[in-house]
């Protein structure tokens, strides 16, 4: 993700390497709010990324932190140079099972579609976690969608995230939004991390 017209060129595939620290910051905070310590999860990262120079961000962070506990971890990416297990378009991919947790940094231009798809295939009461721009909340076109798809928790990153190799940030604040299937409150609980 990058703020367009702010000194950065958008990658054609809308792929930006997600740094490990913000993911670990989120997982550490989430662990304090949602206790999954006695649960082993089938996890899916549908926009896993990774490339010849960098590992897949979410699988690496989860394994590094050891939270949540992994039963299985499946990775998908449409890009052929990704380290993902499956090279397919997630929006049309047919899963062979349901997942307890779907977590990723979706391409911004299809973020809502990725969220909808994830909420369709996650297990009942399962979690969907997306790294999004904070201004994802501010859209008239999504207002009716928010009325039926409000996340249960929102973790706003207090430090802007650098997605480029030179570690410069853009003008955007980011959040990890957490949905739980079949639980859509009228408002989200917000935490600054």
In a domain, residue 5? The reply is no
> Reading across the β-sheet that carries 189-192, which strands appear in turn?
86-87, 69-77, 40-45, 99-104, 122-133, 174-180, 153-156, 189-192
> Does residue 1 fall inside a structural domain?
no
160 secondary structure, DSSP code: P
Number of independent structural domains in the chain = 1
How confident is the model at residue 8, as a pLDDT? Answer: 41
38 or 8: which leads in pLDDT: 38
Range of the domain at 151: 20-192
pLDDT at residue 166 above 80? no
Mean pLDDT of all residues in the chain? Answer: 88
- Residue 26 within any structural domain of the chain: yes
Each residue's pLDDT tens digit, 96-127: 999 999 999 999 899 999 999 999 999 999 99
Pairing of the two strands 122-133 and 174-180: antiparallel
β-strand 153-156 against 99-104: which pairing, if any?
Answer: unpaired
Res. 169 pLDDT band, cuts 50 70 90:
low
Structure-block tokens of residue 65: 């932190």
pLDDT digits (tens, 9 = 90+) for 41-97: 999 999 998 888 888 999 999 999 988 999 999 999 999 989 899 999 999 999 999
Kindly state whether residue 111 falls inside one of the protein's structural domains.
yes
**Strand ranges (DSSP E) for the chain?**
40-45, 69-77, 86-87, 99-104, 122-133, 153-156, 174-180, 189-192
Banded model confidence at residue 167, pLDDT cuts 50, 70, 90: low
What pLDDT sits at residue 18? 87
CATH number at residue 115: 3.40.50.150
* Cα four-point dihedral sign 78, 118, 165, 60: negative
Using DSSP's 3-state secondary structure scheme, residue 137 falls into helix
Q: 165 vs 69, which has greater pLDDT?
A: 69
146 occurs within a structural domain: yes
Q: The pTM is what?
A: 0.88
């Amino acid at each position: 993700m990058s703020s367009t017209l702010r000194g950065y060129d958008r990658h054609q595939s809308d792929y930006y390497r997600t740094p490990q620290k913000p993911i670990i910051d989120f997982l550490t905070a989430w662990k304090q709010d949602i206790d999954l310590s006695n649960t082993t999860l089938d996890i899916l990262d549908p926009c896993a990324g990774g490339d010849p120079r960098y590992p897949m961000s979410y699988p690496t962070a989860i394994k590094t932190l050891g939270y949540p506990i992994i039963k299985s971890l499946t990775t998908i990416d449409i890009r052929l140079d990704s380290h993902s297990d499956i090279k397919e378009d997630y929006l049309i991919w047919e899963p062979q099972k349901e997942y307890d947790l779907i977590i990723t940094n979706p391409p911004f231009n299809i973020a809502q579609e990725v969220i909808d798809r994830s909420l369709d295939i996650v297990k009942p009461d399962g979690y969907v976690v997306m790294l999004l721009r904070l201004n994802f909340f501010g859209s008239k076109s999504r207002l009716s969608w928010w009325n039926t798809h409000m996340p249960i928790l929102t973790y706003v990153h207090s430090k802007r995230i650098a997605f480029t190799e030179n570690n410069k940030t853009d003008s955007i604040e980011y959040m990890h939004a957490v949905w739980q299937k079949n639980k859509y409150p009228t408002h989200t609980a917000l935490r600054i991390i």
